[in-house]
Amino acid sequence: MNETNNQNYFKKAIWGMIGGTVWGLLFMGALAGVLIGINQSLRTIISALLMGILWCTIMSLIWKSLIGRQDESSRNYIIAGIIGGFFLGGAVGGFILAVLNRDANFGRAYISGIFLGAIFGLVWSLFKPPMILGGTRIWGKQGAILGAVWGAFLGTIVGIVVTIGLLFWSQANVEITASKLPQLFMAAAIFGAGNGAIGGAISGIILGGLIMAPPLPLALELIGSRGAIVGAIWGCFLIAIAGAVISSIVAVTIGDDLLLKLGINAQVTVVRGVIVGAGIGSIWGMISGAIWGGFGRW
C-alpha cells in the first residue's frame, strides 16, 4: 500500500512539473512577447494575440462538440479558448519578434518560466487546500492553518498596494526618471508582497489559532470563478512558502546580481532572500493558482 501511494505521489509530481513547465513557458513567453511587441511592433503582437485567440476558441468549441455534453454551455469553452489563445499568441508573436530583432531577453523569460512553472506544478500537485467547512467557530490548529492561508493572501495584496503607494508618493517628492520607474515598480511589488505575505501569515496563525479564522470559499465543484478565487488564495500561500524556502537556501550563492536585476540595490542576505522569494512566490502563486483553479486543475 505504501509503495502504491509513493508511486501515485511520484506520478502526480512528474505530471505536475510537466504541466507547470508548459504553463510557465506560455505565461512568461506571453508576458515577454507583449512587452517586446509594445516596444518594437505593436501591430505584430496584436495580430498574434487575435489569431491565437481565434484559433484556440475554434479548437475549444470543436473539442466541446466532440466530448462535451449536449446540454453543456459553451461559455466555459469560449473563455478557455480566449485565455489559452492570449497566452499562446503572445508567446508565439514574442518569439518571432525576438528572433527577428535578436532579443536575448525572450530566452531569459523562457528560462524563468521553466523554473517558476516547474516549482508551481510540483508543489501544487502535492498539496491540496484545507477542506475545512464553516462552523460556529474555527480556531486552534485548524484556525491557525486557515489564518495563515488567509493572512498570506491578504497580506500580499495589502503589501503590494501600500509599497507601490509609497513609491508614487516618493516620486512626487523625489525625481525618478521614467526609465527606472518600471524596475522600481517591480521591486516595490516584490518587496511589498514578500513582507506582506510573511507578516500576514504570522498574524493569521496567531489570530486564527487564538480567536478564529474564516473557512475558504469552498464548493462541491471547484471550477470557474469559485475555483479561481480558492486557487488564488491557496496558490499565494503555497508558493510563497516554497519561494521563501528556496531563496533561503540559495541566498548566499545567487550573488548580488539577482537583486540588482529586480531593482533592489542591496547586498544579498538570508533575510532579504526570504523576503524576495516569498514576494515572487506569492505573486506567481496567486496568478497561477487563479488560472489552474479556474480550470479545475487541482
pLDDT at residue 29 tops 70 = yes
pLDDT band with cut points at 50, 70 and 90 for residue 71: confident
3-state class percentages of the chain: helix first, strand second, coil last, to nearest 5: 80, 0, 20
Please write the tens of the pLDDT for every residue from 152-210.
999 999 999 999 888 777 765 556 665 566 677 888 889 899 999 999 999 999 999 99
State the pLDDT at residue 231.
Answer: 94
Cell numbers standing for residue 145: 492553518
Percent pLDDT > 90 in the chain is 39
State the pLDDT at residue 296.
Answer: 85
Please write the tens of the pLDDT for every residue from 225-245.
889 999 999 999 999 999 999
State the pLDDT at residue 289.
Answer: 95
Query: What's the average model confidence in pLDDT over 214-221?
Result: 82
**CA 50/CA 61 separation, integer angstroms:** 17
Domain residue limits, the chain: 2-126, 140-294
**CA 186/CA 261 separation, integer angstroms:** 10
Query: What's the average model confidence in pLDDT over 28-32?
Result: 88
